Amino acid sequence: MKNSEIKVFCRDLNRHGQAVCVEVNDDGEQDNKTSVIFVDGLLMGESGFVEVVETLKNYRVARLSRRIDDSPDRVQMPCAIADDCGGCQIQALSYPASLRWKENSVRQTLERIGTIDVESLVQPIIGASEPYTHYRNKMVYPVGSGAVGPALGFYRARSHDLVTTPVCLIEPQSGARLRELLPQLMVKHAISAYDEKTHTGDLRFVTLRVSPTLGDGKSEKQMIILTSRVEKDAYFALAADLLQEEDVVSVYLNIQAQRSNVILGNKFILLGGDKQLTFTFDGNKFALSPGAFFQINYEQTSKLYRLISSLVKDIHTEHSLSDIIDLYCGVGSIGLYVMNELRKSSNAALPHLLGLELIAEAVADAKQNAELNAFASEDYDFIRAAADESLAYITEADSEHTILILDPPRKGLDATLLSALVEEGPSHLLYVSCNPATLARDLKELTDVYDISLIQPVDMFPWTVHVEVIVKLEKQ
């Protein structure tokens, strides 16, 4: 052991997948008086020697020199670049162990930040039956300069360095072909890779979105979005080549000229093919414009949406709902899925669906999706409104017969909205969150007037530290 090395023991993983370690003294005892150490490469229960590379006020960051022992939960990582790529932070952890860690992480976060007693409320996490099988239906590939020309790849963990691999195990099946083909087309059409250090070059990101697999041996349909610093006529020729691929149905150019990490700009130009990506999901028809949001894992989204539908159905049976308000509704996927399930399982009158969403393009998609699913115009309204502008619709609803479905972005609920829900929210809430920390913060306020009856984690993102959570709340 070098003089600079410290022996450590890993107690847990943090939200980035790094080991949270304590020092181990010469007697083999854990030293709780020194600051914790964050290091890559260890799992819970493992020990190792590390070298500290940065010391901050409350913690230290270290580099792993060598691992002393292996956890029984450690597995051989199947991806060749798993140690470098920032995409799959916990691939060394067996899938059952990763589910246990995520479920426990939800518990700890809600207890620590939300000060909520969750012991009997958190249900066993809903895992994936095929967690390793190209589960993502959307990927954003950064474009850079490789050893022999332009390349599409992935960011190295906590950096913007590009790493590549022939096959990514979580990208869509068609991703590897796109990453092989597009650099060739860039050279052919004299389109350069963007350099973020100098703010020069053309192509910055390539987004691939695919439909669910169509069955009968057919592949998924593909929409491709090319994010560029500048407009170029050459992109039309490149798109024509892409559209020769059997399953590519739509190619867009997106302009993002700002010197920032924002991936998509506001301007989309259809280079060729269909205006939208259309598909059927669990019997529901959807059309997505290029900037639309949709959950990235179809298998787990089906489980998530079926659970939401079941919860709404039970509430509707007991309370005869008159209104379902779907806030942050996007393209209307949750609300319309729920309405379709209610329509299939009950002869009772449907509640009215009100979808509220800030992005105009998403609102237009939602209205179209309602028509695609043959809902009568009086069954729904989709309205463009920011969260704080939605307050009047929420507070004016019949509280006893209204359920509010919340699916906010990672930052959680707007403070004004949160205060209004505490003061005048409806009797029933379903909160769908992709960030347990902001969920816990919001629940701390909501539980002043609401009781939690269910907390259900869902593993939407296998091999990563991320987890989706559904919370059912009822007014006290």
All structural domains of the chain: 5-67 (2.40.50.140), 100-129+297-475 (3.40.50.150), 138-274 (2.40.50.1070)
**What is the predicted pLDDT for the residue at 318?**
94
Instruction: Encode pLDDT of 150-193 as tens digits.
Output: 999 999 988 999 999 998 999 999 999 999 999 999 999 999 99
Instruction: Encode pLDDT of 294-333 as tens digits.
Output: 999 999 999 999 999 999 999 999 999 999 999 999 999 9
**What is the predicted pLDDT for the residue at 420?**
94
Q: Is 88 an active-site residue?
A: no
Instruction: Encode pLDDT of 205-216 as tens digits.
Output: 999 999 998 766
Instruction: Encode pLDDT of 349-380 as tens digits.
Output: 899 999 999 999 999 999 999 999 999 999 99
Closest C-alpha among 186, 184, 179 to residue 165: 179
**What is the predicted pLDDT for the residue at 29?**
92
What are the structure tokens assigned to 301, written together? 């989204």
- Given a cut of 80, is residue 272 above it in pLDDT? yes
Assign 348 a pLDDT band (cuts: 50, 70, 90): confident
Backbone angles phi, psi at 362, to 5 degrees: -65, -40
**What is the predicted pLDDT for the residue at 347?**
72
- Given a cut of 70, is residue 142 above it in pLDDT? yes
CA distances from 375 to 159, 284, 341, 372 (A): 47, 12, 12, 8
**What is the predicted pLDDT for the residue at 1?**
59
* Distance, C-alpha 45 to centroid of its chain: 29
Instruction: Encode pLDDT of 226-256 as tens digits.
Output: 999 999 999 999 999 999 998 999 999 999 9
Backbone angles phi, psi at 144, to 5 degrees: -150, -175
- Given a cut of 70, is residue 3 above it in pLDDT? no
Q: Residue 10 burial by CB count (10 A; 0-12/13-18/19+): exposed, middle or buried?
A: buried
Instruction: Encode pLDDT of 16-69 as tens digits.
Output: 999 999 999 988 899 988 999 999 999 999 999 999 999 999 999 999 999 999
Q: Which of 10, 85, 329, 434 is catalytic?
A: 434
pTM: 0.95
